[in-house]
Amino acid sequence: MKTRLVRLLVLLGLIAIAWAAWPRLFPVKPVSSAWPGYGEGEFVYIASPIGGEVETLDVKRGDQVAADARLFRLERTEEKAAREEAAETLQETRTQLDKAKLDFDRAKALREKKVIAPENYDAARQILLGAQHAAAARQRTLEQADWRYSQKEQTAPAAGLVYDTYFRPGEWVPAGQPVVSLLPPEYLKVRFFVPEPDLGRVAAGAPILISVDGLDQPLTGKVSFVSPQAEYTLPIIYSRENRAKLVFLVEGSLDPESAGKLHPGAPVEVRLANEK
């Protein structure tokens, strides 16, 4: 009985020693020097805040457009009429304001000479104030009409690829509904997945190389985001054997000279630039 107990204690001791020495004898090694992923784009959706019928669609899917290039225009007959009416009304109000200023200046000069009744001077002053307020109000009305008129025509906020169009000329577009989606090259990025044993090698700002099928040279960029949690977890204990199966999402931004060469959805392989 004692012999069996001694043997058991010796066996347990050997197991404890082996367990303590295991990390040094068999360290967890990185799974791979390259990680799989794909290209992704953050699209800019161009819409008018005012609904209307599509009058012209100036681009098509796949076009490359420059910044400030016109994308589409909605029918704006009513906005144009309102703009012209506001401009005409403002001009009339300014004419009245000019006359009110002359009358007030005249009344002020006569008051200094004491040849005008105080109530006549006060009346001229009130007329001038009213004309000033009316002119300011008409100016705001014209600015609003100009804004509504301009919003019926939308231009590209930045150079980029026309990824898709959603309406055709003659179709009605609700207010705020995108008509064109644009993909500026600086909004392209890669998303790739790093196994848990490799995670310590990846940090925000680290330079990366992105291999894409069909390109002789890898694209360049840097890590912009590392997920704080695993994308996939197993319903078992995180043992040394299975935690390599955990992967973490990492995002990388592309350098300007590389951004235009990546397509959303394209499969890529990513590796750290300092580990060629």
- Counting every residue, how long is the chain? 276
80 plus 38 within the same structural domain: no
Q: What is the pLDDT of residue 254?
A: 87
* DSSP state string for the chain: -HHHHHHHHHHHHHHHHHHHHHHHHSPPPPS-SSEEEEEEE--EEEE-SS-EEEEEE---TT-EE-TT-EEEEE--HHHHHHHHHHHHHHHHHHHHHHHHHHHHHHHHHHHHTT-S-HHHHHHHHHHHHHHHHHHHHHHHHHHHHHHHHHHTEEE-SSSEEEEEE---TT-EE-TT-EEEEEE-GGGEEEEEEEEGGGGGG--TT-EEEEEETT-SS-EEEEEEEEEEEESS--SS---TTTGGG-EEEEEEEEPHHHHTT--TT-EEEEEEGGG-
pLDDT of 60 above 90: yes
| Type of residue found at 259 | A
Instruction: Give domain status of residue 157, yes or no.
Output: no
Query: What three-state secondary structure class fits 88?
Result: helix
pLDDT of 220 above 80: yes
What digits encode the pLDDT tens for the residues 177-210? Answer: 999 999 998 888 999 988 888 888 899 999 999 9
pLDDT level of residue 156 (50, 70, 90 thresholds): very high
User: What integer is the mean pLDDT of 93-100?
Assistant: 94
Q: Using a cut of 0.75, tell me whether the model's pTM lies above it.
A: no
Q: How far is residue 58 CA from its own chain's centroid?
A: 23
Which of 89-103, 209-223, 255-269 is the least confident region? 255-269
The total of structural domains in the chain comes to 2
162 neighbors 65 (Cβ within 8 angstroms): yes
Instruction: Give domain status of residue 141, yes or no.
Output: yes
Instruction: Give domain status of residue 62, yes or no.
Output: no
Q: What is the CATH number of the domain that holds 267?
A: 2.40.30.170
81 plus 135 within the same structural domain: yes
191 plus 247 within the same structural domain: yes
pLDDT level of residue 32 (50, 70, 90 thresholds): low
125 neighbors 111 (Cβ within 8 angstroms): no
198 plus 269 within the same structural domain: yes
Query: For residue 226, what are the domain limits?
Result: 27-42+185-275
Instruction: Give domain status of residue 69, yes or no.
Output: no
211 plus 143 within the same structural domain: no
pLDDT level of residue 51 (50, 70, 90 thresholds): very high
Instruction: Give domain status of residue 190, yes or no.
Output: yes
pLDDT level of residue 249 (50, 70, 90 thresholds): confident
84 plus 132 within the same structural domain: yes
β-bridge mates for residue 3, sequence order: none
pLDDT of 222 above 90: yes
38 plus 83 within the same structural domain: no
Which of 19-23, 37-41, 151-155, 218-222 is the least confident region? 19-23
d(CA 249, CA 192): 6
pLDDT level of residue 262 (50, 70, 90 thresholds): confident
Instruction: Give domain status of residue 49, yes or no.
Output: no
Instruction: Give domain status of residue 16, yes or no.
Output: no
Residue finishing a domain among 91, 123, 150 = 150
Stretch (H or E) spanning 53: strand 52-57
Instruction: Give domain status of residue 212, yes or no.
Output: yes
Q: What is the pLDDT of residue 29?
A: 47
189 plus 267 within the same structural domain: yes
d(CA 119, CA 125): 10
205 neighbors 272 (Cβ within 8 angstroms): no
